[in-house]
């Protein structure tokens, strides 16, 4: 896993073979971030990464200048890996600590109890998750996005969110699909 651009550009992290999470491919990640620059100014933005997995998106957001990144992951080993990556990034840095908050917990419980709004929300749930189709509705019901915020939802090809009232556009990069909502 590598960071594409920003202050940590080029940093690599070896993902343990035992991990169940599949990080968003570099190709898909680079392309979706090229689209996102039209929607959000990363510098100073507050971001939420749901179903963080390996932390690839959280680290990319941090590298691009987000003032705060909240990373929510249920799996204990994945959560620990994200914490280790953050420590490695800031070990030789002038910064006292990274502005990333890794939370080990259930995404649905987090959404229900969250009182903060974000400029950018990224969600990459397991494609087989039965509750996957309800996630966009939950984000908007709980008003987690700031008025000009953007929600990026990674999902499999079998889902079509184009009829959702907040849907903006769909992007596909190989087998990776993103639906964007405002």
Tens of pLDDT, residue by residue, the chain (182 residues) = 889 999 889 888 988 888 877 678 889 999 999 999 999 999 999 999 999 999 999 999 999 999 999 999 999 999 999 999 988 887 766 555 568 999 999 999 999 999 999 999 999 999 989 999 999 999 999 999 999 999 999 999 999 999 999 999 999 998 899 999 99
Provide the pLDDT for residue 93.
Answer: 61
Provide the pLDDT for residue 34.
Answer: 94
Q: Assign 3-state DSSP to the chain and report helix, strand, coil percentages, each to 5.
A: 30, 25, 45
Please tell me the pTM assigned to this model.
Answer: 0.94
Provide the pLDDT for residue 81.
Answer: 94
- Reported for 134-139, long-range contacts at CB under 8 A and 24+ positions apart, including other chains, are 135/50, 136/161, 136/164, 136/166, 136/179, 136/181, 137/164, 138/108, 138/111, 139/111, 139/181
Distances (CA, A) of 34 to 14, 55, 133: 24, 19, 25
Provide the pLDDT for residue 92.
Answer: 65
């Amino acid at each position: 896993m590598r960071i594409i651009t920003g202050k940590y550009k080029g940093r690599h992290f070896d993902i343990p073979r035992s991990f169940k999470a599949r990080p968003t491919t570099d190709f898909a990640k680079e392309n979706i971030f090229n689209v996102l620059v039209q929607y959000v100014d990363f510098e100073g933005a507050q971001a939420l990464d749901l179903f963080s997995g390996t932390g690839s998106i959280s680290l990319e957001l941090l590298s691009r200048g987000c003032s705060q990144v909240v990373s929510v992951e249920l799996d204990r080993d994945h959560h620990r890996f994200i914490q280790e990556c953050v420590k490695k990034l800031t070990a030789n840095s002038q910064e006292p600590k990274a502005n990333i908050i890794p939370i080990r917990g259930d995404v649905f419980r987090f959404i229900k109890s969250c009182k903060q709004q974000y400029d950018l929300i990224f969600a990459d749930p397991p494609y087989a998750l039965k509750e996957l189709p309800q996630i966009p509705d939950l984000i908007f019901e709980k008003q987690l996005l700031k008025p000009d915020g953007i929600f990026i939802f990674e999902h499999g090809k079998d889902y079509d969110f184009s009829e959702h009232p907040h849907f903006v556009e769909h992007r596909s990069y190989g087998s990776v699909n993103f639906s964007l909502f405002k």
